[in-house]
C-alpha cells in the first residue's frame, strides 16, 4: 500500500500536476479544493479512482473552512503537500486590511494549523513529510506583490524552523520555490511581458507545472531523506 498523502489545493494547476505524479508512484490521496470542483473532477477522470481516498471542500482563508477540513481528516496522513494559494497584485498602500488578513490566513495560519494537526501521528510513527510550494518572491520580493511576497517569505521561515524541531522525530520539512511557471496565476500578463521575463531566464523558457511536480516527487522519495529545511528553487536559474 502507498502512503496517504494530503494535497492542499489539489484543483489548481500545480496541485493537479503534483497529485497526478504521486498517483503514478502508488500513493493514496486525500484531495483538498476550495471552489473548483469541476476542474478537480475533470483532472482525475482518467486516473485510478481507487487512489483517491477522499475529497474535502474547504475555504482555508476562514476559520470555519479550516475547522471543517481538520474534522474531515479522520484517515492517517503520512505526508502533506501545501500547493494552495493565490496572488494579490497592487500597490501596497492601496491594499485593504481585509485582503491582508485573508492572505495571512490562507498562506500562513492554515499551513500552521494543518501541520500541527497531522504532526502527532507522524511523530508517533517516527516518519513523515511536509512540503510547501512557496515562491521565489518569498526570497527576493516583488514590487506590487508585497503582501504575497510577505506570506511566501513566512512560509519559507516556517519550513526552516519546523524542520529543525521535528527532524529528531524522523520528519522532513522542505519547500519548493517556483519561479515563472505557466499557470493561470500568470494569465494577467501580456504576451510581451511574458517574453521579457523569459529573456531574463537562463533556461530560456517558462517553467511547467511538471517541473514543480517532479521536484516534489524527489522530496517525497526516501532517497531524499537527509534533505531537511531546504528551499529548493525551480526557476531555470532566474533571479539566482
In a domain, 81, yes or no: yes
Helix%, strand%, coil% for the chain, nearest 5: 50, 15, 35
Residue 231 banded pLDDT, cuts 50, 70, 90:
very high
Helix, strand, or coil here: 188? coil
In a domain, 185, yes or no: yes
pLDDT exceeds 90 at position 185: no
Highest mean pLDDT among 9-23, 34-48, 189-203: 9-23
Average pLDDT score, the chain: 93
How is the beta sheet containing 231-234 ordered, strand by strand? 52-57, 28-33, 4-8, 79-82, 128-133, 171-178, 231-234
- Domain extent at residue 108: 4-234
Give 144-182 pLDDT, tens digit per residue.
999 999 999 999 999 999 999 999 999 999 999 999 998
Own/partner pairs, 161-167, CB within 8 angstroms, 24+ separation = 162/115, 162/130, 163/228, 163/229, 164/229, 166/119, 166/122, 166/123, 166/128, 167/228, 167/229
pLDDT exceeds 90 at position 38: no
The enclosing domain of 226 has a CATH number of: 3.40.50.720
In a domain, 239, yes or no: no
Count of domains in the chain?
A: 1
Residue 57 banded pLDDT, cuts 50, 70, 90:
very high
**Nine-digit cell at 113?**
494549523
Task: Tell the burial category of 202 from Cβ atoms under 10 Å away from its Cβ (0-12, 13-18, 19+).
Answer: exposed
CA distance 67 to 6: 16
In a domain, 67, yes or no: yes
Select from 229, 150, 139 the least CA-distant residue to 179. Answer: 139
In a domain, 29, yes or no: yes
Catalytically annotated residue among 19, 33, 148, 226: 148
Phi, psi (rounded to 5 degrees) for 25: -100, 5
CA distance 106 to 59: 8
CB 83 within 8 A of CB 7: yes
In a domain, 11, yes or no: yes
Give 130-143 pLDDT, tens digit per residue.
999 999 999 999 99
In a domain, 43, yes or no: yes
Instruction: Clarify whether 19 is annotated catalytic.
Output: no
Residues whose CB is less than 8 angstroms from the CB of residue 144 and which lie 6 or more positions away in sequence, other chains included: 89, 90, 91
In a domain, 240, yes or no: no
Amino acid at each position: 500500500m502507498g502512503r496517504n498523502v494530503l494535497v492542499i489545493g489539489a484543483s489548481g494547476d500545480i496541485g493537479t500536476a503534483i497529485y497526478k505524479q504521486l498517483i503514478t508512484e502508488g500513493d493514496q490521496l486525500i484531495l483538498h479544493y476550495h471552489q473548483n470542483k469541476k476542474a478537480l473532477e475533470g483532472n482525475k477522470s482518467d486516473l485510478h479512482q481507487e487512489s483517491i481516498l477522499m475529497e474535502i471542500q474547504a475555504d482555508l482563508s476562514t476559520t470555519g473552512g479550516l475547522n471543517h477540513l481538520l474534522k474531515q481528516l479522520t484517515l492517517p496522513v503520512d505526508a502533506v503537500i501545501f500547493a494552495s494559494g493565490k496572488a494579490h497584485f497592487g500597490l501596497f498602500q492601496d491594499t485593504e486590511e481585509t485582503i491582508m488578513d485573508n492572505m495571512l490566513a490562507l498562506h500562513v495560519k492554515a499551513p500552521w494549523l494543518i501541520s500541527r494537526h497531522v504532526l502527532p501521528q507522524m511523530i508517533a510513527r517516527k516518519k513523515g513529510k511536509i512540503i510547501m510550494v512557496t515562491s521565489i518572491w518569498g526570497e527576493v520580493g516583488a514590487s506590487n506583490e508585497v503582501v504575497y511576497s510577505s506570506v511566501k517569505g513566512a512560509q519559507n521561515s516556517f519550513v526552516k524552523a519546523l524542520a529543525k524541531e521535528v527532524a529528531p522525530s524522523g520528519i522532513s520539512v522542505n519547500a519548493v520555490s517556483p519561479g515563472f511557471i505557466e499557470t493561470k496565476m500568470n494569465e494577467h500578463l501580456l504576451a510581451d511581458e511574458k517574453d521579457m521575463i523569459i529573456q531574463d531566464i537562463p533556461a530560456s523558457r517558462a517553467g511547467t507545472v511538471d517541473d514543480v511536480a517532479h521536484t516534489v516527487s524527489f522530496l517525497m522519495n526516501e532517497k531524499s531523506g537527509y534533505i531537511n529545511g531546504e528551499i529548493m528553487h525551480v526557476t531555470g536559474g532566474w533571479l539566482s
